[in-house]
Amino acid sequence: MNPETYRDITAIVAIIVGVFFIVDPSIVAYLLGIVLIAYGLMELIRRVME
């Protein structure tokens, strides 16, 4: 993936987390943990595929 795709994904995730924060602030911690795990997995997969 190119850097523009990562920026687009980051922007979409930020919008989704922002909406959840407005709706229910207590769920943000769980969602952030899931996002960090997903990001870590994406990075590992990207490094393996290179």
pLDDT in tens, 22-47: 777 777 777 777 888 888 888 888 87
**Alpha-carbon distance 50 to 34, whole Å?**
25
Distance separating the N- and C-terminal Cα atoms of the chain? 11
Global confidence as pTM: 0.49
Q: Are 32 and 17 in contact (CB under 8 A)?
A: yes
Decide if pLDDT at 48 tops 80: yes
Q: What is the pLDDT of residue 42?
A: 82
Q: What is the pLDDT of residue 1?
A: 62
Under DSSP, is residue 13 helix (H, G, I), strand (E, B) or coil? helix
| DSSP type of residue 9 | H
**Alpha-carbon distance 35 to 7, whole Å?**
15
